[in-house]
């Protein structure tokens, strides 16, 4: 069962929660369930306000499962390059930035960082 640790200036300390691998819950849904205040608006990969930085703590790094909306939004925010998208999709190398509403929990322990500012990570 993967651990998801949230880190933000909005939190007094890091908060680690257990998530269910293979669940269809997004990181944003996991955060909501544990009252972790990741900024968000559309919940549909279109506004970029739920930008997070993801660090793989254990388990294989996995970079696939970027949605088309997520790729488009991350590119427009300048948070992912075409090379990083190719590495994620071809070599399964995780990009640094993701959208919390699009990122589905996988079987790996991760650190999720967010600033608390919409679109800030």
Chain contacts with ligand FES (rule: CB under 6 A)? 40-43, 45-50, 73, 99, 101
Residue 91 beta carbon to ligand FES: minimum distance, rounded to whole angstroms: 25
Residues 4 and 30: beta-carbon distance below 8 Å: yes
Q: Which is nearer to ligand FES, 42 or 111 (CB)?
A: 42
Beta strands, E only, 25-113: 51-58, 97-99, 109-113
Q: Which is nearer to ligand FES, 59 or 85 (CB)?
A: 85
Residue 53 beta carbon to ligand FES: minimum distance, rounded to whole angstroms: 14
To 5 degrees, how large is the angle CA 28–CA 29–CA 35?
85
Residue 51 beta carbon to ligand FES: minimum distance, rounded to whole angstroms: 8
């Amino acid at each position: 069962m993967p651990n998801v640790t949230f880190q933000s200036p909005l939190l007094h300390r890091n908060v680690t929660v257990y998530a269910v691998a293979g669940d269809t819950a997004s990181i944003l849904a996991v955060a909501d369930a544990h009252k972790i205040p990741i900024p968000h608006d559309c919940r549909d990969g279109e506004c970029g306000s739920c930008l997070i930085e993801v660090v793989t703590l254990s388990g294989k790094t996995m970079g696939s499962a970027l949605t088309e909306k997520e790729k488009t939004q991350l590119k427009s925010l300048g948070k992912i390059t075409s090379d990083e998208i190719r590495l994620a999709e071809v070599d399964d190398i995780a990009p640094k930035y993701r959208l919390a509403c699009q990122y589905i929990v996988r079987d790996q322990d991760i650190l999720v960082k967010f600033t608390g500012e919409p679109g800030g990570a």
